Structure 1
Amino acid sequence: MSSARRWGPWRSLMTLTPVLLAGPWLAYLQHFKMPEPLSALTNPVTKLPQISEERILGVAKHLSEGIGYRTVGTYEHSLADKWMIEAAEQVQRNCERINRTGRKIECEVWRQEGSGNHRFDMMGKRLYKTYVNLSNIIVRISDGTPEGKEHAVLVNAHLDSTLPSPGAADDALPVGVMLDCMRVLVETPKWTPKHAIIFLFNHAEESLQDGSHLFSTQHPIANTVRAVVNLEAAGTTGREILFQATSEQMIEAYSHVPRPYGTIFANDIFSSGIILSDTDFRQFEQYLNVTGLDMAVVGNSYLYHMRKDLVENIQPGTAQHMAENTLALLRYLSSKKSPLASLTAGYSRPTTVFFAHVGPTFFMYSFTTAKVLYTVLFTFSFFLVRGTFVDPAPALKNGHGFWKEQGKGTVAVISGMTGTLLVPNVVAVIMKSVLNKGMSWFKDPMAPVGLYGPAALLGVMVSQYLVGEVHEQSVFTALLLIQAFLAVGIQLVNIGSAAIFFLAALPLFIVLALNSLFAPSGHQLSLWAYGLGSLLPSLTGTLLLLGVLEVFVPLTGRIGADAPADNIVATIVASLGGLSFPLILPLTHRFGRRALLRGIVFLSIIMTVVVSFFATLAPFDQMHQKRLFILHSENITTQEHHLNIATADGAPGFEQLVHDIIQEFGTTSIDPVPVVMDDYNSDWDSLYPFSAFLKPYKVPLAVTPGYVSPWSNDQAFIIAATEHTENLLPGTRNLTLTISHPGLIWTVIAFDAHVLKWSLDDSPPDEYVRHHVKEGSFYGHDIYSFDMVIKVAEGGDTGIRVNFMGLQEKGIWPAKKAVKALGGPAMHLFEHLDAWLEKKTDGKVDALLLGCVGGVTMI
């Protein structure tokens, strides 16, 4: 195996293949390994209480199917509130029963109710939230002493679900996890918390985190919270991932969980803002100034915020994984070893590299240690490369020289990186713009590897052929030095994800040091060097690739119709694939240019076949559906009805589907054209600011003769302005705006004004701009108001044009299909449209169907 001349490319590749596949295969097994789901409430061996997935899923099923769609402001939302207080009081009764046996344990229950306002910036947009009489259910478990209640860990999940999802995973699953953790803790003999645990079942996360804001700003025990564990779900399968950790103390706490799954890479990706998502953790961090952990189920996020977020689609073992990790965290953070008491003076942002690898191993070390480690590796690598250098052309008068060879190797590596990224992106452009087959990989997170993996390999080979003759060892050593240098350079600017380059460079350093054992001449690299040097990078890189694709591939179905989804995914596959198999670069120079050219021709044929195959695939199927957003809008100012249709992805076929819908349900034969989506398109204000991702069409609908709108009569949507003239400064208006919206939820008002002061927050923008105020209130609460002082342009019109929009509480399909007769024209249309879509697309579309009421008024 030490001689390249004796072994040609095919024999060498056949020998290396098992080793090259070992890392990805081990990564695959690790990534999808799930714990055994348990049913029994008690361990049959130890007789101690244990986490029961069956019980957790029972809670999720009751909330998502027994009660149903628990959107803030709906009747079902109030039913979930009632059920939750009963469940919390049952825990309290169990506590009291156990407490009578002599154990020091106390359970307190609150049903918090309150109103408030907060600013919520998202996606570069500024908006304001107001809510009326929203509720939270809180349970505090402590030893009953003032000292035991002084410092607490908060664990949070939300009871509400979003439009139009029953929310079995998001977030009924974590609700069940918290209830079962309470059961196990309370019923475990001899367990008494040193520090209190506060279980917050917040009731309004999907309406932009109103419930967590309510707790953080108004509950009397909020100031005892020292750390937060937030539980979320953006999918239905796989292990729960730690994607945000905000202090070294909490990272160390996480190291005690039985099945860690979290990395600094996920932490850096989320904190960068690339993923336009958010959780309740934001409110706790902003208003309580506390540290914590943000954890979520993210596998199969095709079902995130979709109708099929049902218990039947939650993978066995997922609940067990989340609950056992959560339980371990709560036990540790409530124990004598807990760091909670040390967090009273605040916390410092983490400067810690951390990552779970194979099995239960969890690595963590400080940024300072990382800088030392990476610097030492780079230094030793340089001296090793210099010390093992053998001139590949000693017969020449001056040889090639060390620096010249390293320069050639560096050019080859940089060219290889460029080719790795360039060719897959060219393929992406061809698929989307030439063949009109964009997102054909969407149905499977691993499918892009099949399309863009060979393209990345072809990019490497073409780039190396164009570079020309370079000795393989020069490329190998340049690769080692570049990766080691990147690890140092990136870590010096305190980006912990530099660890990926360290983990790639370290095995290259080791095999280069050992290469002389297998290739005594020193003129070539042994195949052993390729095999052993590839194992750790392929394992680490594949673990990272699997996790990233699991999140980003489904995400492309909701990042906007104009987003370059194909290029984003191509870049992910190419860059992480290159990190996984870096030694392909020197390997291409092992067998000469003729062999490389044959490889390019062969791979080009393969790529033609692959592209042809993917061009036959449809992006969507019944379990990986297209998201369609459909509004029936009733304008009570103009008395017009419209059908608004939009998508959030760039897959082909949307325009034809819109045309077919309008042909079937519209009242015009004119081909639809897209309308402008901006801050002034108030038809979509109920989904603002997410509406910025949508590509909308709008067509008129016929109004039934004799139709009398209830929204302008007995259920009037009214915006009233009360003028205050006392102490009024010249050039200003002092107003109280009162919005009455009986039967409507998630109302929004939008207007242009220069606001000098208002009751929504303390710092309105000091300019004439557009404002959006969104409301989310408890069921049956239909009035809210706020005060503001506005600047009036000198000699200008003092009136303010206000656009208003709201959702019919009984006009949401299929959430309200049981009371469809009360939903008016919107529900009548949705019943037929939904059935038509199911048949027309063979179940490949999940449509959000909302009845909206809006208009314009002057104040």
Structure 2
Amino acid sequence: MASPAVRARWGPIRSLLCLSPLLVLVPWLTIREHASLPEPVVDLFDPLTSLPQISEVQILSHAKHLSEVVGYRTVGTREHALGDAWMVEQAKDLQRQCEEIIKAAPGRKLECEVWRQEGSGSHRFDIMAKRLYKTYVNLTNIVVRVSDGTERGKEHAVLVNSHLDSTLPSPGAADDALSVGVMLECIRVLIHTPSWEPTHAIIFLFNNAEESLQDGSHLYSTQHPTASTVRAAINLEAAGSTGPELLFQATSEQMVQAYSRVPRPYGTVVANEIFSSGIMMSDTDFRQFELYLNVTGLDMAVVGNSYLYHMRKDLVEHIEPGVAQHMAENTLALLHYLSSTESPLPSLTTGYTKPSTVFFQSFRHFFVYSYATAKILYAILFGVTTFFAVAIYTPPTPALRQARGFVGDHLRGLFAVGSAVVGALAGVNVVAFVMATVLKKPLTWFSVELSCAALYGPAALMGALASQLVVPTVREKTIFTSILLAQTGLAFGVQAIGVGSSVLFFLSGLPLFFAMLLNWLVKPSSEPVSLLSYALGQFIPLSTGAQLSYEVLNVFVPLTGRIGEQAPAEHIIATIVAVVGLYLLPLVIPFIHRYSRAVLARSVLLMVTITTISMAVFSMRSPFDTMHQKRLFVIHMENITSTEQHLHIGAADSAPGFHELVHDISQQFGAPGIAPDYVVMDDWNADWDTIYPFSAFLSPYKMELPLREEYMDQLDYSFMVTAVNDTINAEDGTRKLTLLVTHPGIIWTAVAFDAHVLQWTLDNNPPDEYARHHIKEGSFYGHDTWTVDLLIKHPSPAEHVDDKFRVDFVGIHEKAMWPGKRAEKHLGGRAMKLFEELDDWLEVKTGGTVDATLLGCVGGVAWV
């Protein structure tokens, strides 16, 4: 007969109802606080103190001018040159204000200097496991240095950077005109603050070519006279338009400590390590500062709602109120500190070292400590919990005939926990397989970042609970302490190998220890674990897990939906939900072992039902809508060599409907009776080299264009690749030449060829083998030639004609980019006529759920 204590124990429903306020309110309040933003400020000066203040309205006015008045500022375009001229004007105006302030207060130690840097160069840029070379001609940067005017004050400087250009299909309001506005506003507030005098200089770099693979930051880092004084860098970016600005790279304890002083810190070591691992497949100018200036620093970006990232709708109207205020107030606080007498800048002369600092924020509190401190803390916690678990251990009753002793009993507990982990991962991936492969309904979660939790959360719970059906009976308290030992052991072990993200296990293990301590104090050892211990043990995992879920899914849902048709996007998101869910609810498994096997079986059946309903509901959803659009890449290719014209169409997601859409486009715009060809995307598909290597994400089609009258116009391009200074050394078996690329009216040119390069002017380390080489160019508006000197093995083992080798070349007609060049569409020729028709047709056909990048390209083949 059951004991009175057992008979009085609450059932699962009553217990869950008791815990439900905690389970609901803690994640809700955490996310609400986590996503909060300051109130936007309108006035340039505080009405009460008359002191200057950060004004979001002023920042957004700068962003709006750049993104909507100047427009699409793609490197090499006329609009890019207009943005450059506007920025020079803004810098000069601030310099004039600075000089007037100094005249009015002659004793104030303040100086403002402005440079418009021009230069050419080249650099290697490896990304996505591809080797790529960049070259640029007469690119520009605008540099503003604010200092106390002394040589000593200029000896150590902090660099703060944003970029003026925007990428091919985007007006770039958030990315990165917002950051440009933030920097301009910081300069205004600093120089107009009467009491502010910098001990150390601040260098504001408005770089003019980030989207062309960081050419502007490379130019500054390798050629500007102030670069040698930089001791730390702050990079301001955007991959979204909502939510707080995230600190996602921090590379020294001193700079993390500096960040701890900002009014609204937002960042964790977890984001830092995820980004630095390379799995994000993206990069910022921060790379150039680390590589060429050898400095430490902070990399910060707005990442919420990244559906608009590099899209047409990256407009000021879609930037959430408070975003600019948050970014600017944090940046201003950093600059105040780093330019002060307390600044660590003079100590940062040894350059970049691998970060060894744990940091995280919770409810506006920012915690920072070193890896050494982390190891001590986590070791102490693991030791104390192990001692405590042994001390409170009571053997099972003989009737249960379970494990023999503490170790055996807890091995069973760990097996139960491990089975739950495996079960959760298996459950979500089975559902992912069904959604993507069986039902052919992938990406149905795409348009709402957290919605994937509704699809895969029940599946994870279903798998975790189902796994317990094959696990031998284990006592509730044993599993509880097994989880405690696992969490604290992982915290210590993972930190021991130098991974700061082990703080997650520490933050989860610490409350579990106090929960077990509380249970030992208030409950007899023979009774089940107190519900109060569950509440205490779950509080921090619920809070930290909700924060983690919000950050990770905000970034990975839009990103994973655009990583290519062949990528297992469904399984990636399902696995993320399972892992985050396991962290969020670590006590589910001891809780279910609190009750009978019948309760467990019924719980599994309930989760199967909920999962099935969720799959049915999601199967009826469309992945895209007007604010969460499908990206379509369209190239109108005019081949100079063959005089052929084709339309190339590619998409970067696995959502259904793309192949049907391509065939509909072919019927509407292609040559009658000729079906589009599905082509292979590899390093030899030169048609897409303008966006190489990101073209690897695309699933491309190629279609014939009809013989319309406008397509029969005579091609008149002077785009060519030739060899000059060409000599062959038969004795050495080498050939020396200069590859000359002439491209009037063509921008973002790219050449690709196969050769065994021995030497060239791009870098000092060409691959010592016969290989495919890609070289891309980005130059200032109006500059139409570039060269590279080559020394190659000759003859090459490749196909050759009269001792020549093949060079594939391609570029974008500067006047043929839709919608960036809509205002002068008459100058874009046949491509723009087609793009206008196609864009209108897509809007109607898809109901505005497609954002198409429409590029008029010119290419061909040269034998040199």
- Mapping 1:687-706, distance limit 5 Å: 687-704=691-708
- Mapping 1:611-630, distance limit 5 Å: 611-630=615-634
Quote the residue 1:85 is aligned against. Answer: 88
Quote the residue 1:718 is aligned against. Answer: 720
Quote the residue 1:856 is aligned against. Answer: 861
- Deviation, structure 1 residue 532: 1.1
Of 727, 744, 758 in structure 1, the residue corresponding to residue 760 of structure 2 is 758
Quote the residue 2:102 is aligned against. Answer: 99
SS of corresponding position for 1:146: coil
* 1:476-514 C-alpha deviation (Å, 9 max, x unpaired): 111111111111111111000001011111111111011
Cα distance change, pair 500–707 in 1 and its aligned pair in 2 (3 A): closer
Of 355, 380, 387 in structure 2, the residue corresponding to residue 350 of structure 1 is 355
* 1:198-232 C-alpha deviation (Å, 9 max, x unpaired): 00000000000000011111111111111000000
- Deviation, structure 1 residue 29: 1.2
Contact 1:516/1:522 (8 A) holds in 2: no
- Deviation, structure 1 residue 349: 2.3
Distance in 1 between residues matched to 2:269 and 2:36, nearest whole Å: 21
Moved more, 617-626 or 588-597: 588-597
* 1:224-274 C-alpha deviation (Å, 9 max, x unpaired): 111000000000000000000111111111111110001000000000001
Cα distance change, pair 538–735 in 1 and its aligned pair in 2 (3 A): same
Distance in 2 between residues matched to 1:706 and 1:245, nearest whole Å: 54
Distance in 1 between residues matched to 2:431 and 2:687, nearest whole Å: 37
Cα distance change, pair 727–224 in 1 and its aligned pair in 2 (3 A): farther
SS of corresponding position for 2:586: coil
Contact 2:290/2:352 (8 A) holds in 1: no
Quote the residue 2:151 is aligned against. Answer: 146
Contact 2:648/2:701 (8 A) holds in 1: yes
SS of corresponding position for 2:828: helix
Contact 1:636/1:709 (8 A) holds in 2: no
Quote the residue 1:256 is aligned against. Answer: 261
Of 461, 464, 482 in structure 2, the residue corresponding to residue 460 of structure 1 is 464
Of 376, 396, 404 in structure 2, the residue corresponding to residue 392 of structure 1 is 396
Identical columns (%): 60
- Deviation, structure 1 residue 794: 7.7
TM-score, L = length of structure 1 = 0.98
Contact 1:2/1:518 (8 A) holds in 2: no
Quote the residue 1:448 is aligned against. Answer: 452
Cα distance change, pair 145–573 in 1 and its aligned pair in 2 (3 A): same
Quote the residue 1:54 is aligned against. Answer: 57
- Deviation, structure 1 residue 466: 1.9
* 1:351-408 C-alpha deviation (Å, 9 max, x unpaired): 111111112x111111111111111111111111111112232456897432221111
Quote the residue 1:379 is aligned against. Answer: 383
- Mapping 1:743-754, distance limit 5 Å: 743-754=745-756
Contact 2:123/2:763 (8 A) holds in 1: yes
Counterpart amino acid of residue 423 in structure 1: G
- Deviation, structure 1 residue 468: 3.5
- Deviation, structure 1 residue 673: 3.9
Cα distance change, pair 729–35 in 1 and its aligned pair in 2 (3 A): farther
In the alignment, structure 1 residue 773 sits paired with structure 2 residue 775: yes
Unaligned runs of 5+ in 2: none
Moved more, 398-407 or 217-226: 398-407
Distance in 2 between residues matched to 1:268 and 1:728, nearest whole Å: 52
Quote the residue 1:30 is aligned against. Answer: 33
SS of corresponding position for 1:126: coil
Which aligned runs of 4 or more in structure 1 are off by greater than 6 angstroms? 396-399
Contact 1:720/1:739 (8 A) holds in 2: yes
Of 72, 75, 79 in structure 1, the residue corresponding to residue 75 of structure 2 is 72
Distance in 1 between residues matched to 2:755 and 2:796, nearest whole Å: 14
Of 647, 666, 686 in structure 2, the residue corresponding to residue 643 of structure 1 is 647
- Mapping 1:518-597, distance limit 5 Å: 518-597=522-601
Contact 1:390/1:523 (8 A) holds in 2: no
Of 33, 36, 45 in structure 1, the residue corresponding to residue 48 of structure 2 is 45
In the alignment, structure 1 residue 159 sits paired with structure 2 residue 161: no
Of 280, 287, 294 in structure 2, the residue corresponding to residue 275 of structure 1 is 280
* 1:546-589 C-alpha deviation (Å, 9 max, x unpaired): 00000000002321111111111111111011101100110011
Counterpart amino acid of residue 146 in structure 1: E
Quote the residue 1:482 is aligned against. Answer: 486
Counterpart amino acid of residue 589 in structure 1: H
Of 313, 317, 321 in structure 2, the residue corresponding to residue 312 of structure 1 is 317
* 1:429-473 C-alpha deviation (Å, 9 max, x unpaired): 100101111010001001001001111111111011221321111
- Deviation, structure 1 residue 737: 1.3
Cα distance change, pair 689–810 in 1 and its aligned pair in 2 (3 A): same
Aligned length: 856
SS of corresponding position for 1:785: strand
Contact 2:265/2:330 (8 A) holds in 1: yes
Contact 2:378/2:491 (8 A) holds in 1: yes
Of 647, 652, 656 in structure 2, the residue corresponding to residue 652 of structure 1 is 656
Task: Give the root-mean-square deviation of aligned CA atoms.
Answer: 1.6
TM-score, L = length of structure 2 = 0.97
Contact 2:545/2:583 (8 A) holds in 1: yes
Distance in 2 between residues matched to 1:256 and 1:429, nearest whole Å: 46
* 1:148-183 C-alpha deviation (Å, 9 max, x unpaired): 011100000000000110000000000000000000
- Deviation, structure 1 residue 699: 0.8
Counterpart amino acid of residue 424 in structure 2: T
Counterpart amino acid of residue 741 in structure 2: I
- Deviation, structure 1 residue 814: 0.4
Distance in 2 between residues matched to 1:45 and 1:794, nearest whole Å: 76
Moved more, 455-464 or 669-678: 669-678
SS of corresponding position for 1:508: helix
Contact 2:710/2:830 (8 A) holds in 1: no
SS of corresponding position for 1:639: coil
